[in-house]
């Protein structure tokens, strides 16, 4: 294992009924002005909104609603939330939703407590958070990003066509309430997309050095197998509590920094997808599903040992009579077959992207992520995108 420092300040309450049992107590230590943040109408249709509103009202809270948070949350939306928080003297933000809502609210918590331009000071570059953001609590309704247990937030600047994420520990939620039953009503496509995002986070940590035996890789292998087993079950039976609970906790484990300990980490596929999303506003998990197999076919020879281990230990590929390259290739094919099995796209055209001319602009705008196998460049990224088309 390489050297590391570990910290995670978020307190997690997991299981049936945790919102009813613990929300009021967690909010009681803050002031009475609560910003209730969410996306669209889904939490109103499934009863989650009414349940939370009743708890807040019974606790005597003054509620400021911040709704309409979109997938791929924009900097414009962050500024809207920050303005609302300042005007209403918000004491605590309660984000109810999936990764987009949580990410947007982390940025709002920062922007509402800062007088400058957080995009230029904290998203275009890493900044030092020398002040206290507005406290944030989250109620998770979609399993996917793992945003509930880190300070990371991915924001899109539409004017600059840049989608990027930063992770500031001070933006970690103070508490996270995770009831798997809240995910029962998530549509199949969103369940599959979120589930693949979980798998992507784990793979991008796994496919990096060190290659020697290490605890982080062993945990990652177990998590990947769990996602591969439970995602189809959740799609077949949306109210399978065991499958939903395993996916919800796997998402958290993928991004609470535990499996990243001692790892170089490769998030090149995410970097490519972020810019794909910035230019096309495509679904995040679907974009990752298209990119991953093509990216891995480009780099697997440079990380052959790990790709062989992936094929054998995660997918159960037999090594009998095969070269290492054949085993590794079979593992990547198993990944692509799984993507098809859960109903996600494998080509950009399936995402409705018909302007192939955009690909050069997307490749040109991508960051090169350190830590991965192989050498990336604008030319390499364009080649990968062309293979995805």
Q: What percent of the chain has pLDDT over 70?
A: 100
Examine the domain organization and report whether 52 and 173 are in the same domain.
yes
Question: Does residue 270 fall inside a structural domain?
Answer: yes
pTM for this predicted structure = 0.94
Q: What is the pLDDT of residue 354?
A: 87
Residues 268 and 155 in one domain: no
pLDDT 10s digits, 216-232: 999 999 999 999 999 99
- pLDDT, position 3: 86
User: Is residue 194 located within the same domain as residue 283?
Assistant: yes
Burial tier of 186 (Cβ tally within 10 Å: 0-12, 13-18, 19+): buried
Q: Average the pLDDT over 194-215 and give the result.
A: 96
Whether 333 maps to a domain, the answer reads: yes
386 has a pLDDT exceeding 80 = yes
Residue 379 in this model has a pLDDT that exceeds 80:
yes
DSSP state of 165: E
Distance CA(129)–CA(300), nearest Å, equals: 38
Q: Is residue 367 a part of any domain in this protein?
A: yes
Residue 6 pLDDT grade (very low, low, confident, very high; cuts 50, 70, 90): confident
pLDDT, one tens digit per residue, over 279-312 is 998 999 999 999 999 999 999 999 999 999 999 9
133 and 97 in one domain? yes
Q: Do 215 and 316 reside in the same domain of the chain?
A: yes
Q: Which domain holds residue 215?
A: 187-388
> Does 89 reside within a domain?
yes
Q: Is the pLDDT of residue 1 over 80?
A: no
Is the pLDDT score of 266 beyond 80?
Answer: yes
Q: Which pLDDT score, from 0 to 100, does residue 259 have?
A: 97
Within a domain: 373: yes
Average pLDDT value for residue range 241-245: 98
Last residue of a domain, one of 133, 148, 182: 182
Same domain, 55 and 110: yes
Are residue 147 and residue 163 in the same domain, yes or no?
Answer: yes
- Of the residues 128, 149, 182, the one at which a domain ends: 182
Lowest mean pLDDT among 104-108, 332-336, 370-374: 370-374
202 within 8 A of 259, measured Cβ to Cβ: yes
- Considering the domain architecture, whether residues 145 and 214 belong to the same structural domain is answered as no
Whether residue 6 lies inside any domain: the answer is no
Per the prediction, the chain carries an average pLDDT of 96
Note whether residue 63 is domain-resident: yes
- β-partners of residue 157 are 162
Residue 187 has pLDDT above 80, yes or no: yes
Gap between the Cα atoms of 206 and 311, Å rounded: 13
Tens of pLDDT, residue by residue over 7-59, are 899 999 999 999 999 999 999 999 999 999 999 889 999 999 999 999 999 99
pLDDT score, position 95: 98
* Residues 169, 131 share a domain: yes
User: CA distances (Å), 97 to each of 93, 179, 281, 382, in order?
Assistant: 13, 12, 19, 34
pLDDT beyond 90 at 84: yes
pLDDT band at 5 (very low <50, low <70, confident <90, very high): confident
Q: Are residues 26 and 86 in the same domain?
A: yes
Residues 164 and 202 in one domain: no
Which residue among 182, 203, 234 closes a domain? 182
**Residue 18: which CATH number?**
3.40.50.1970
330-345 pLDDT, tens digit per residue, is 999 999 999 999 999 9
Give the span between the Cα atoms of 177 and 36, in whole angstroms.
14
- Predicted confidence (pLDDT) per residue in 115-170, tens digit: 999 999 999 999 999 999 999 999 999 999 999 999 999 999 999 999 999 999 99
Judge if 67 and 141 occupy the same domain: yes
Q: What is the CATH number of the domain that holds 220?
A: 1.20.1090.10
For the chain, the domain total comes to 2
Residue 2 resides in a domain = no
Structure token digits, residue 343: 């109903």
């Amino acid at each position: 294992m390489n050297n590391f420092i570990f910290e995670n300040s978020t307190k997690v309450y997991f299981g049936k009924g945790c919102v009813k049992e613990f929300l009021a107590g967690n909010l009681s230590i803050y002031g009475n002005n609560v910003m209730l943040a969410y996306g669209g109408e889904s939490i109103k249709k499934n009863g989650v909104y009414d349940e939370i509103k009743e708890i807040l009202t019974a606790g005597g809270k003054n509620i400021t609603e911040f709704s309409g948070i979109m997938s791929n949350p924009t900097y414009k939306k962050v500024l809207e939330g920050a303005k609302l928080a300042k005007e209403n003297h918000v004491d605590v933000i309660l984000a109810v939703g999936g990764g987009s809502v949580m990410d947007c609210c982390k940025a709002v918590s920062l922007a509402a407590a800062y007088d400058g331009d957080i995009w230029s000071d904290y998203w275009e570059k890493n900044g030092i958070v020398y002040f206290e953001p507005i406290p944030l609590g989250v109620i998770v309704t979609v399993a996917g990003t793992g945003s509930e247990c880190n300070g990371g937030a991915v924001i899109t600047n539409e004017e600059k066509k840049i989608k990027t994420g930063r992770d500031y520990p001070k933006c970690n939620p103070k508490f996270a309430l995770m009831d798997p039953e809240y995910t029962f009503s998530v549509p199949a496509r969103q369940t599959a997309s979120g589930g693949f995002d979980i798998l992507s986070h784990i793979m991008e940590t796994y496919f990096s050095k060190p290659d020697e035996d290490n605890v982080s890789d062993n945990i990652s292998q177990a998590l990947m197998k769990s996602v591969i087993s439970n995602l189809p079950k959740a799609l077949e039976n949306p109210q399978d509590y065991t499958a939903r609970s395993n996916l919800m906790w796997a998402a958290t484990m993928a991004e609470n920094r535990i499996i990243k300990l001692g790892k170089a980490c490769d998030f090149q596929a995410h970097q490519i997808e972020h810019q794909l999303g910035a230019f096309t506003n495509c679904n995040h998990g679907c974009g990752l599903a298209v990119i991953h197999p093509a990216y891995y076919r480009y780099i697997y020879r440079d990380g052959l040992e790990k790709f062989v281990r992936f094929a054998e230990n995660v997918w159960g590929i037999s090594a009998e009579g095969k070269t290492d390259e054949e085993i590794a290739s079979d593992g990547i094919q198993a990944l692509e077959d799984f993507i098809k099995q859960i109903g996600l796209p494998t080509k950009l055209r399936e995402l409705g992207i018909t302007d192939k001319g955009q690909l050069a602009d997307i490749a040109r705008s991508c960051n090169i992520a350190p830590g991965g196998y192989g050498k990336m460049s604008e030319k390499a990224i364009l080649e990968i995108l062309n293979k995805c088309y």
